[in-house]
Amino acid sequence: MILATKKRVLFVCIGNACRSQMAEGFARTLGSDVMIPASAGLAPAPALAPDTIRVMKERNIDLRDHFPKSLRHLGRADFDLVINMAGLFLPKEFKGRVVDWEVSDPVFMEYAEHCEVRDAIEQLVMNLILELRVAPRTQFRGQGSGRLEL
């Protein structure tokens, strides 16, 4: 049996206080068999948004020990896939495939809307996990808004 190599996946948003942290939490919890996830922000916030911690706790994912990180915090780490949720162009230093996910930033939203964003991210991450499980040795060939073409 050939064991597939786990893909290194980076989730990026603006502050690394909500969206990318939720995505990393779901990826780490649900997809650790196919990926090694990380997250970072273009302009890291001072701390995670309290509602982000709360909505993830509802899914039994504890983010209390997480903290916002910058891209520089990652050093020279290479990623097979970069998921851009910032809605902005990313620095050109990434060697891996960049895929844009259009996800609203819940940082100033009401709690119910924060839950809706969490649910959308959970679905996107689960789709990614399933695609990686189906074609674990295939290179990323396309980009789009939420769906990878493997």
> Would the pLDDT of 150 be above 50?
no
Predicted model pTM:
0.86
Rg of the chain taking only CA atoms, in angstroms: 14
Of the options 3.40.120.10, 3.40.50.2300, 3.30.70.370, 3.40.190.10, the CATH number for the domain spanning 7-134:
3.40.50.2300
- Concatenating the DSSP letter of every residue in 53-116 gives HHHHHTTT---TT----BTGGGTT---SEEEE-SSSPPPTT--SEEEE------TTS-HHHHHH
> Would the pLDDT of 141 be above 70?
no
pLDDT at 2: 47
Overall size of the chain counted in residues = 150
> What average pLDDT does the segment 67-81 reach?
86
Query: Of the spans 14-23, 70-79, 92-101, which averages the highest pLDDT?
Result: 14-23
> What average pLDDT does the segment 26-49 reach?
96
